[in-house]
Structure 1
Amino acid sequence: MKVKVSYQTLQLPPPLAFAYTLEMEFHEEEIKIQYDLEFLNRDEITLEEIEEEGFSENDDYSWTGTLGKAWVEDLYDDLLEVDLEDESEDFNIYLHMEISHDGQEDSGIAVMAEDWDYRLQEVIQAIYEKAGIEDKLKLKFIHQANGERSFYELEGSFEHKTCQINQKDISWDELHQLMSDVYTIDFEGESVEKPSGDGLWIDQDAMSGYQLFDEQAGPKASKIKSRILDILER
């Protein structure tokens, strides 16, 4: 099976606006990939404005390589069943797919565009990890209560679709749930190197210092914290 994804943001201004193509050729043990990223409309703004957003003069990127069997298993069957349509009412993104399989071809705009946007961003994160541009996902947690302290260290690999907490495997679905709950907060508070009070403390990249989740997660903090601890303590 061969799949070509054409993606473009529709509402983002420069220098954030971008488009990419992702060409995937599926084999039993791997996916051969060509990935091309282009930032759009940057001629409308100055270099100073681009750099103020943390970008450089040219951030376009191309990569050719492979991802392994875990990604074949994750994507293959769902891409065979993907719903495509001629037009879309999504005003935020354009996500078009061309799929060739067993002599048959289908093309159109993905119906579940937001879901596929998320999944394809994980593929791109796997590409960046394999290319050495991005590190593996790393977080540290400290839970302190009733005079006891527990430490947890998470490491996740998008390239291999694996994740461990204190070197014990958790599923990719559990990682999704954990990340959804962890990023209930924006991590804009003050960080500390050595937490001293009770609560759930999170270092979002294992380098920036800990922030107290309990104080920033809003009225549902207790319920969300319980879900996080349930996964950490398994």
Structure 2
Amino acid sequence: MHLKTDDLLRLEIDFDSGSIPPPFSHRFKLKLNFEKNFLNTAVDMEYTHREELTEEEILNEGFTLDDDYHWVGELHNAWVAPIKKLYIKSKWSNKKIDEEEGGIRILAKDIHGKIARTVPLNQEDWKIESQEIIQAIFETSKREAPLTVNFLHITSDSSLEIALTMKFSIRKAFALINGLEKELNWEKTKELLTNVYLPDYDYDIAKENKPTKRGTYIDCGDGFWHEFGKGIYNIDASYDAVYKIKEGFLNL
């Protein structure tokens, strides 16, 4: 059953990663209550089956020994419209989620007390939206700072320096271009960032200091500078992500 979007009072997004092995296996529940000027939000995230691993095995994968996360608070109302838009366009199934595959289930409640428990057929859309909401929660709760990707293009007579920042907490993207701030289109900037994380970056030749020689460079947010043409490689030969990254930044 699909409830009327204008009547939506609450959504619960329940995710389980299925048969993915630890320490990656996890589940989370997002509770979203639509208030007048904000999104009343709660998240419970739990990593599962870690008792099967040693502490060293968990740490070696880049995790900590306490990655579970719980938070209750207010999210910016910029998230209300995209969540409702996704709900409107979704198709639903009454079938249960396969325990091996995992996935997302949705509980919706409206102002009249009607409740609908369903599984969205567009699972990937809901997974992406959920991860973005969780990132907004991390920023709002100060667990993580907004992501900033730095780009540097140096020629013989000029330089272009761009700091691109995604603020999931307010669902806005900004670029600081040679010191001047510019607001960017959110969806197009997400596409650019998706490309940024597609190539293989050679950290053996990456530099920690900001480059000063002629060339084009990118710092993906971790403080290491990679040079285009020397340490960034497309993984998929049919898709030139490296070119799209460079052109995307040069055209901001």
Partner Cα distance (1:224, 1:142) in 2:
12
**Structure 2: how far apart are the matches of 1:165 and 1:125?**
19
Question: Does the 8 A contact of 2:206 with 2:224 survive in 1?
Answer: yes
* Aligned with 1:10 (options 1, 18, 23): 18
Partner of 1:191: 206
Q: Aligned runs of 1:150-189 on 2, under 5 Å?
A: 150-166=160-176, 167-189=181-203
- The answer to whether the aligner puts 1:213 opposite 2:228 as a matched pair is yes
**CA 1:42–1:136: 2 relative to 1, 3 Å:** same
Which residue identity does 1:98 align to in structure 2? L
**After alignment, is 153-162 or 74-83 more displaced?**
74-83
The CA RMSD measured in Å over matched residues stands at 2.2
| TM-aligned CA distance change 1:159 to 1:147, over 3 Å | same
TM-score for both structures, normalised by structure 1 = 0.88
Q: Identify which range, 43-52 or 5-14, moves more after superposition.
A: 43-52
SS in structure 1 at match of 2:173: strand
Compute the displacement of 1:112 (Å).
0.8
Q: Is the 8 A contact 1:191 1:208 kept in 2?
A: no
1:109 pairs with one of 103, 107, 119:
119
Please give the residue correspondences for 1:51-70 in structure 2 after superposition, counting only pairs within 5 Å.
51-70=59-78
Segment of structure 1 superposing worse, 208-217 or 88-97: 88-97
AA partner of residue 210 (structure 1): W
CA distance in 1, matches of 2:125, 2:214: 37
Q: Which residue does the alignment assign to 2:93?
A: 85
Looking at structure 2, the residues matched to 203 and 161 of structure 1 have their Cα atoms a distance apart, in angstroms, of: 22
Structure 1 stretch displaced more, 139-148 or 6-15 = 139-148
1:181 partner amino acid: N
Which residue is 1:71 aligned to? 79
Q: Deviation string for 1:188-219 (max 9, x for gaps)?
A: 332222325544310111x5131013342436
* 1:54-78 deviation digits (Å, cap 9, x = unpaired): 3333321110001011011221232
Which moves more between the two structures, 66-75 or 179-188? 179-188
Deviation track 1:97-130 (CA, whole Å, cap 9, x = no partner) reads 0111243322221211112101110100010111
- Say which SS state the counterpart of residue 214 (structure 1) adopts: coil
Q: Conserved in 1, the CA contact under 8 Å of 2:12 and 2:106?
A: yes
Which residue number in structure 2 is paired with residue 138 of structure 1?
148
* Cross-structure match for 2:106: 97
Distance 2:37 2:169 in 1: 14
Q: Please state how far the C-alpha of 1:81 moved relative to its aligned partner.
A: 4.1
In structure 2, distance between residues paired with 1:32 and 1:214: 46
Deviates more, 1:118-127 or 1:220-229: 220-229
User: Residue 31 of structure 1 aligns to which amino acid in structure 2?
Assistant: L
Q: Is the 8 A contact 2:27 2:47 kept in 1?
A: yes
Q: Give yes or no for the alignment of 1:225 onto 2:235.
A: no
* Deviates further, 85-94 or 182-191: 85-94
Count of aligned residue pairs for this structure pair: 230
Corresponding position of 2:218:
202
Equivalent pair of 1:29/1:72 in contact (CA under 8 Å):
no
Question: How far off its partner does 1:44 sit?
Answer: 1.5
The 1-side partners of 2:130 and 2:210 are apart by: 37
Taking a change above 3 Å as real, the CA distance of residues 57 and 90 of structure 1, as seen in their structure-2 partners, is closer
Q: CA deviation at 1:138?
A: 0.8
Q: 1:154 to 1:90 in 2, by over 3 A?
A: farther
- What is the one-letter code of the residue matched to 2:51? D
TM-score normalised to structure 2 length: 0.82
